Amino acid sequence: MIPFLDLKKINQPYETAFQEKLKMVLGNGWYILGKELETFEKAFAEYNQTKYCIGVGNGFDALVLIFKGYTELGKLQKGDEVIVPANTYIASILAIMQAELVPVLVEPKLETYNINPVLIQEKITLKTKAILAVHLYGQLSEMEKINEIANQNNLIVVEDAAQSHGAVTNSNNLKFQIPNATDVTLREVEENLGAVAFSFYPGKNLGCLGDGGAITTNDAALAKVLFSLRNYGSEVKYHNKYVGINSRLDELQASFLNLKLPNLNVDNENRRKIAKRYLSEIKNDKIILPFWDLSESHVFHLFVIRTENREALQQYLSQNNIQTVIHYPIPPHKQQAFVNWNNLSFPITEKIHNEVLSLPMSPVLTEKEVDFIIKVLNKY
């Protein structure tokens, strides 16, 4: 069986180094908010070309904390509306709700699976205060357009980069990590500083051996609040300035991430190589391949195809020993948890959820495995 994702194989090369780190952290006798976290925060901020990085417990908390941080700064208020793509992974939407804000769903583009900037405008009301752009499946959203809309309407831009570590925009021939905070066209605009949420859940492009997450931003005031909010809202021990939470990236996970971060670009390049082969060699009228402009704005967290009779294709691949996964089978507005939304209609989102199928994709997938997957797909 070619597994959809072989996490054991991904982490195997680090085994000895992981064990050494464990020994070291164990020997340090200091397991939360220590040197490994500081090292990682510095390295990840630098990697993203941002001023600040705040390590947190997971990707969901990263999003919640960003919204809570803006609320503490008085830039958001309970009940404010946040625009979010209707086809995102449910965590993006739940995070908005957890921060006592109101998610407003906007349809994606069928081609890119990312939020359609043109449709954002229609959903802006007096209560709209932020846009949460999700770089779904590893491809950056159209940040230039989104930032422009945000600037015109005085909206905060938050990015869910849980699936897009290392994706860069090539605007003005300058390479910047995750565009919002550092985009050249916006750097002068002091107010539009933004914040980006990452997850280090094991299956992400940069994953640890448990839960982990981080926030990056250039906003000094926001960073200061976030360092405190993740630690019970305290800056000085036992003095609580904010109503914070407990969400910290622990020393052991940070130490593992310190080992893996230097290989992230190579891993992403390997993913793109596989994507290039899938895109040029899969030739089957029944299969719609994903859009990619061939730039580094896509890190192929997932390679997501579409097909009309998805169950038949998935079964056929399974019979041929190829494991696939559906990301995601039920759109958020059709979930039982959101019963008030169940009658809403988002045709593009629904089409995506009915037709998508994720092929095996990871930096450790071999050429032979890719050969086989392509051959089997072309015979379908």
Ligand X SMILES: *Cc1c(COP(=O)(O)O)cnc(C)c1O
Choice between 36 and 160, CB closer to ligand X: 160
For the window 110-149, what string marks contact with ligand X as x by the rule CB under 6 A?
------------------------x---------------
CB nearer ligand X, residue 214 or residue 374: 214
CB of 271 to ligand X, least distance (A): 15
Kindly state the number of chain residues that form the binding site for ligand X, as judged by CB under 6 A: 15
Phi and psi at residue 185, in whole multiples of 5°? -70, -15
Among 11, 54, 59, 251, binds ligand X (CB under 6 A): 59
In the region spanning residues 147 to 166, those forming contacts with ligand X, defined by CB under 6 A, are 160, 162-163
| Sole binder of ligand X in the list 11, 50, 71, 92 (CB under 6 A) | 92
Q: Phi and psi (nearest 5°) for 27?
A: -65, -35
Pattern 342-371, ligand X, x by CB under 6 A: ------------------------------
Per-residue mark of binding to ligand X, 4-43 (x: CB under 6 A): ----------------------------------------
Angle between helical axes of 15-28 and 35-47 (0-180°, round to 10): 130
Rounded to an integer, what distance in angstroms lies between the CA atom of residue 205 and that of residue 178? 15
Per rule CB under 6 A, is residue 60 in the interface with ligand X?
Answer: yes
| Cα–Cα distance measured from residue 365 to residue 300, given in angstroms and rounded to the nearest whole number | 13
How far apart, in whole angstroms, are the C-alpha atoms of residue 263 and residue 351?
A: 36
Looking at 58, 216, 255, 268, which residue binds ligand X (CB under 6 A)?
58
By CB under 6 A, what part of segment 155-214 binds ligand X? 160, 162-163, 199, 201, 211, 213
Q: How far is the CB of 32 from ligand X (least distance, A)?
A: 18
State how far the Cα of 135 lies from the Cα of 260, in Å rounded to an integer: 22
Question: Under the criterion CB under 6 A, does residue 52 sit at the interface with ligand X?
Answer: no
- Residue 160 CA to residue 85 CA, distance in Å, equals 11
Measured in whole angstroms, how far is the alpha carbon of residue 184 from the centre of its chain?
Answer: 22
Reference 89, options 50, 18, 138, 143; nearest CA is 138
* Distance of alpha carbon 38 from the chain centroid: 22
8 A C-beta contact, residue 83 and residue 104:
yes
State which residue has the least CB distance to ligand X: 59
Stretch in the footprint of ligand X (CB under 6 A) among 88-96, 113-121, 174-182, 355-363: 88-96
> Of 379, 171, 168, which is closest to residue 286 (Cα–Cα)?
379
Residue 196 DSSP label = E
Encoding tokens for residue 201? 């859940």
Binding site residues, ligand X, CB under 6 A: 58-60, 88-89, 91-92, 134, 160, 162-163, 199, 201, 211, 213
